[in-house]
Amino acid sequence: MVDTSHDWIFSRTGIVERRIAAEGVVTSDLAFEASRRAIESAGIIPDEIDLIVVATTTPDMQFPSTAAILQAKLGIKNGCAAFDVQAVCTGFIYALSTADQYLRSGKYRHALVVGADLLSRVIDWTDRGTCVLFGDGAGAVVLKAGDEPGILSSHLHCDGSYSQILCAPGRLSDGKISGSPFVHMNGNAVFKIAVTVLDEVAREAIEANGLTKSDIDWLVPHQANIRIIEATAKKLGMGMDRVVVTVDKHGNTSAAAIPLALDSAAREGRFRKGETILMEGVGGGVTWGALLLRW
Ligand code: ACO
């Protein structure tokens, strides 16, 4: 479709494969599959869920929220709260942090947190600067309230003055889309900001818990680009054997990227009980954030 090559893409990004959802598939379909498996792993029934938070930039429709549609698909009849969070590639960190606050306050016991995006639907397939980077996916976790950590802390940030460097500016107006509905990105600018803010927020999370870099056992970063991931790991003094990398298999899946990486490492049995995991992401907004958890 565009003038590019595997070698160019792989050397710049580390991406080998991407998944594109079949025609007619919507974000809540992927979210449903991921949620079903997360609920099964958690050993609860869907009606025990008190809160659904879906991080997505590509909702099924303008409204209602994808979380509301997901609740119905899961057959949840208990009237639980359900809403979407929009922080693009940082969405899952924002969603997890939001759910964590509700559980900490004692308001809810079980939260379903989903990162799901169909970026393929908002990509201009003639723009080689963006179309090679993105894929579709969904990942989900069930958070349970408990006395043991769990999530140690979360740290969220945004600098809206950078909103133009990564955006899909189109909006519905008078029955038409006004402005471009496709992803527009200044790749170089995003790259520089990403490396800087991921380092800053990692330090913030580590210091907030009275830890040092050497206390971090695993890094589960947003999966956008292997060079951003490697630069982040280097600044943290971590070998790549302690970094979960899945970007080669699915490209940048936006809000789904972190939970997909978490799921793949968890199912491979890579994490040991008591290990400290740093998850972090950056995306449009520009938003960024980190979350430390004890496995
Ligand atoms: N295939 C071949 N050539 C390409 C392609 C492509 N797919 N895309 C761009 N080029 C060309 C450009 O046209 C340019 O050619 P020119 O020199 O003749 O003008 C040349 O390659 C270099 O372009 P750059 O944009 O400078 O390439 P760079 O090395 O910066 O890599 C990339 C581009 C991969 C987008 C990089 O900037 C990047 O990874 N940025 C981070 C962006 C990102 O990951 N965004 C995801 C969303 S945000 C997030 O999740 C963090």
pLDDT bucket at 289, cuts 50 / 70 / 90: very high
Nearest atom of ligand 1 to the alpha carbon of 128: 7
Distance 191 CA to ligand 1 centre (A): 9
Q: Same fold for the domain at 6-148 and the one at 152-294?
A: yes
pLDDT confidence of residue 119? 97
Percent of the chain with pLDDT over 90: 98
- 158 is an active site residue: no
Percent of the chain with pLDDT over 70: 100
Residue nearest to atom 38 of ligand 1 (CA): 187
Is domain 6-148 in CATH 3.30.420.10, yes or no?
no
Whether the CB-CB separation of 39 and 49 falls below 8 Å is answered with yes
Whether the CB-CB separation of 86 and 141 falls below 8 Å is answered with no
Active-site hit among 80, 110, 131, 222? 222
Q: What is the pLDDT of residues 208-244, one digit of tens each?
A: 999 999 999 999 999 999 999 999 999 999 999 999 9
- 252 is an active site residue: yes
Is domain 152-294 in CATH 3.30.565.10, yes or no?
no
**Mean pLDDT to the nearest integer, 3-32:** 97
Distance 100 CA to ligand 1 centre (A): 36
- 225 is an active site residue: no
Mean pLDDT of the chain: 97
Whether the CB-CB separation of 143 and 111 falls below 8 Å is answered with yes
Nearest atom of ligand 1 to the alpha carbon of 134: 46
CA angle 31, 167, 292 (to 5 degrees): 55
pLDDT bucket at 50, cuts 50 / 70 / 90: very high
Residue nearest to atom 11 of ligand 1 (CA): 129
pLDDT bucket at 160, cuts 50 / 70 / 90: very high
Q: What is the pLDDT of residues 55-92, one digit of tens each?
A: 999 999 999 999 999 999 999 999 999 999 999 999 99
Q: Does a cis peptide bond (omega within 30 degrees of 0) precede residue 150?
A: yes
Please state the pTM of the whole predicted model: 0.96
Residue 1 pLDDT > 90: no
Active-site hit among 89, 110, 131, 155? 89
Distance 181 CA to ligand 1 centre (A): 20
pLDDT bucket at 44, cuts 50 / 70 / 90: very high
pLDDT confidence of residue 82? 98
Tokens of 119: 């970026």
* CA dihedral sign, ordered 284, 287, 292, 293: negative
**Mean pLDDT to the nearest integer, 117-134:** 97
Give the start-to-end residue ranges of the domains of the chain. Answer: 6-148, 152-294
pLDDT confidence of residue 148? 85
Which of 7, 126, 225, 246 to mutate for ligand 1's pocket (most ligand atoms within 8 Å of CB)?
Answer: 225
Residue 5 pLDDT > 90: yes
**Mean pLDDT to the nearest integer, 116-138:** 97
CA angle 244, 123, 288 (to 5 degrees): 45
pLDDT confidence of residue 84? 98
Q: Residue 45: what are its φ and ψ, rounded to 5°?
A: -100, 155
pLDDT confidence of residue 149? 78
pLDDT bucket at 115, cuts 50 / 70 / 90: very high
From the CB of 4, is ligand 1 less than 6 Å away?
yes
**Residues present in the chain in total:** 295
Residue 251 pLDDT > 90: yes
